[in-house]
Amino acid sequence: MSAPDSPDFPEIPVGGFVGEGLPEDPANTTGRKPLGNPAEVPELSEVDCPPELQKEIENAMSRYPEKNSASIPALWAVQRLYGWCSPEGVRQAAAVMGVTPAYLESVASFYDLFFLEPTGRHRVRVCTNISCWMRGGDRLLGAFAGATGCDPGKASHGGTVSDDGEFFVTGSECLGACDLAPMASIDERYYGPLTEDDAAAIVRELRDGAEVEPELALASRGLAGGDDPTDDPRVDSLKGPNR
């Protein structure tokens, strides 16, 4: 099929839309300004990469035949170090991996577990998908929003950070732990089933730097490979199916 013959149809530049760097965004609608040329592999000597970050990324790369396969662990390492995938961190990871920052940006922007802007010190994702919703996931999200001082409307529409910068709270699609419904991921660890009172207690514990409700953690359940004794016939030697 040929392109419509219309004077309004935009002409595609030679080389297409890729390979010339990220599209220009003069209004900076994303609020994100790439550093340097995102389409060029940065020199390691130019990016001031912290040695521990470089080592972690190199370790990840050594586990894969293709260096690009280490993109997700590399971005996790950046996010752990800086709290988000900052342009500087992405550039450092790109230099270590020998890929373009534009490539890593494209990976990071695909997954909503990567933050492309600064976020709260603690991250609370409340599942509001069908199993959790039927067991009060929406009310649980509201309870977390209330306890952290986050706007509940914003929390349920893409997430929001509390005024004190301590908490990022968001609703989430299914997190794959429906047997814990209603559940939440708190600083990347799963907890459930949770009540609205649990939400308030968890926020207090996070503020105090205390351990979060250990008996409600997925990691402490028999099926997840924890040490809890169980009569569940699916559990062999107290080790869950994921071990």
Binding site for ligand FES (CB under 6 A): 127, 129-132, 174-178, 181, 183
User: CA distances (Å), 89 to each of 96, 97, 215, in order?
Assistant: 11, 12, 36
- Identify whether the C-beta of residue 122 lies closer than 8 Å to the C-beta of residue 168: yes
CA–CA distance, 189 with 217 (Å, rounded to integer) = 7
Shorter beta-carbon distance to ligand FES: residue 93 or 140:
140
Smallest gap, in angstroms, from Cβ of residue 185 to ligand FES?
9
Residue 152 identity (one-letter amino acid): P
Order of strands, edge to edge, in the sheet holding 167-172?
A: 160-161, 167-172, 122-127, 184-186, 189-191
**Min dist. Cβ of residue 233 to ligand FES (A):** 23
Give whichever of 77 and 218 is closer to ligand FES, judged by the CB atom.
218
Q: How far is the CB of 175 from ligand FES (least distance, A)?
A: 4
User: Cα 201–203–207 angle (5° rounding)?
Assistant: 115
The CB density around residue 121, as the number of other CB atoms within 10 Å, is: 15
Nearer to ligand FES, 53 or 199 (CB): 199
Minimum separation from the CB atom of position 176 to ligand FES (A): 6
Q: Would you say 77 or 175 has its CB closer to ligand FES?
A: 175
Shorter beta-carbon distance to ligand FES: residue 38 or 171: 171
Give CA–CA dist 182/134, Å, rounded. 8
Is the C-alpha dihedral spanning 177, 178, 179, 182 positive or negative? positive
- The minimum distance between CB 130 and ligand FES, in angstroms, equals 6
What minimum distance in Å lies between the beta carbon of 184 and ligand FES? Answer: 9
Q: Measured from the CB of residue 192, what is the shortest distance to ligand FES in angstroms?
A: 8
Nearer to ligand FES, 75 or 183 (CB): 183
Distances (CA, A) of 6 to 1, 9, 12, 14, 180: 15, 5, 14, 19, 55
Q: Which of 85, 38, 79, 34 is nearest to 56 (CA)?
A: 79
Nearer of residues 174 and 212 to ligand FES, judged by Cβ: 174
| Alpha helices per DSSP H over 83-128 | 87-97, 101-110
